[in-house]
Amino acid sequence: MIQKPRGTMDILPGESEKWQFIENAARNVCKKRGFNEIRFPTFEETQLFQRGVGNTTDVVQKEMYTFIDRDGTSYSLRPEGTASVSRAVIENGLAYDTMPLKLFYIINCFRHERPQAGRYREFYQFGAELFGATTPSADVELIALANDFLKTLGITGIKLHVNSIGCPSCRPAYKNALVKYFSSKSNELCETCQNRLNTNPLRILDCKSPVCSKIAFDAPKTTDHLCPECSAHFEGLKARLDACQIEYTVDPHIVRGLDYYTRTVFEFISENIGAQSTVCGGGRYDGLVEQIGGPALSGIGFAAGINRLVLSMENGSKYNQKKNSVDLYIATLGEAASVKATEICSELLKKGYSAETDIVGRSLKAQMKYANKINAKNTLIIGDGELESGKAQFRNMENGEQSEALLSDLEKLENLLK
């Protein structure tokens, strides 16, 4: 028996409806705010992610699915969407369109991680990116989109955490302060964080190990080291979040894992799903487009993890499971009746109804059992006698009422279905 790869999942009927509910909510909120869908390849040249996501990140160093193609090119399955979207924006000349450019996507992503609840090797993201606007209003537009989306799902216990990690002009000084602080305690840090001290000290702030997070608690805060421009930007952001009545906490430990972030970073964190609790993360990445060979074009984006949202829905949401149902099921006896039923179903489907008839060759009794199983709202039974008389028994399965249907009069049959 061949099984699915570790860390992947089959999403079966009964469960897939929850995913559709989330995806529909994403599409609806994007439409309202003028975000349009972009689709892009599942794999890209590895160097796009090395340059776009960053060589010092866990994602690029340890988690990518990389393969060498027949012509020797190194490709990787996308571990996230932002680098690909930025590549597509440059390659298709969208960077020269009217700004802002507002895009969204719903994609599968691949990361070679240790599978556990809320962490998979193939997982799904709903993401949005906003290019060509550097104001705090743009940040709030995007955060509000994520907030609308989560509110539409009606999942409770999700909190917004925001922070500013400064820009290339104020971050070096902050990094120095941070390295100084952590160096004095470096032998207590976990092994990964001891390395991070040299490569990516900001990441120590969001290390999940209890010892590191305890040490990080008293570390210098980014918000105390912002340059006047970054500080004004952050104040502008908070004022507008207040204006939209979006609740938030300023959290100096939000730094985000990927290298490309500047100024605003944020996460929506769920209280109900255990350790893998960030359901949506994002931030501003003003240098990214240039870094991968494009023009100077600012951007801000987020990605929400759909798997984790499905997990949090188990603790209450606006999703209520409606059973799929069929307007009419036609049970048949004999070849001629089956042909007639096929004809009626085909006509009803053209008119927009849902209709099914037996295609397995079941007995009449088994067909009626099946009609119940698929939640048929109405049934019609056709045999040789009905064909001869042109009349058949129609039954409303919800209230049990029976009536006579004329097989030659489709309009009357439609009236019964209404």
Residues 62-101 interacting with ligand ATP (rule: CB under 6 A): 80
Stretch that binds ligand ATP, among 211-219, 302-310, 324-332, 355-363 (CB under 6 A): 302-310
CB-nearest residue to ligand ATP: 305
CB of 313 to ligand ATP, least distance (A): 14
Stretch that binds ligand ATP, among 28-36, 138-146, 161-169, 271-279 (CB under 6 A): 271-279
Q: What's the burial of 175, exposed, middle or buried (CB within 10 Å: 0-12/13-18/19+)?
A: middle
Task: Please report whether residue 8 would count as binding ligand ATP according to CB under 6 A.
Answer: no
Identify the three-state secondary structure at position 23: helix
Task: Please report whether residue 54 would count as binding ligand ATP according to CB under 6 A.
Answer: no
Residue type, 71: D
First to last CA, the chain: 47
Task: Please report whether residue 307 would count as binding ligand ATP according to CB under 6 A.
Answer: yes
Using the CB atoms, write b or e for 225-252: b if 16+ within 10 Å.
bbbeebbebbeebbebbeeeebebeebb
Residues 113-132 interacting with ligand ATP (rule: CB under 6 A): 113, 118-120, 123, 125
Question: Residue 277 has which token pair?
Answer: 């609790």
* DSSP state letters, 306-341: HHHHHHHHTT--S---PPP-BSEEEEE-SHHHHHHH
For residue 168, cis peptide bond before it (omega within 30 degrees of 0): no
**Total binding residues for ligand ATP by CB under 6 A?**
18
Q: What's the burial of 4, exposed, middle or buried (CB within 10 Å: 0-12/13-18/19+)?
A: exposed
The mark string for 218-257 relative to ligand ATP (x by CB under 6 A, - otherwise) is ---------------------------------------x
CB of 307 to ligand ATP, least distance (A): 5
Residue nearer to ligand ATP on the CB measure, 220 or 257: 257
What are the residues binding ligand ATP (CB under 6 A)?
Answer: 80, 111, 113, 118-120, 123, 125, 257, 276, 278-281, 303, 305, 307-308
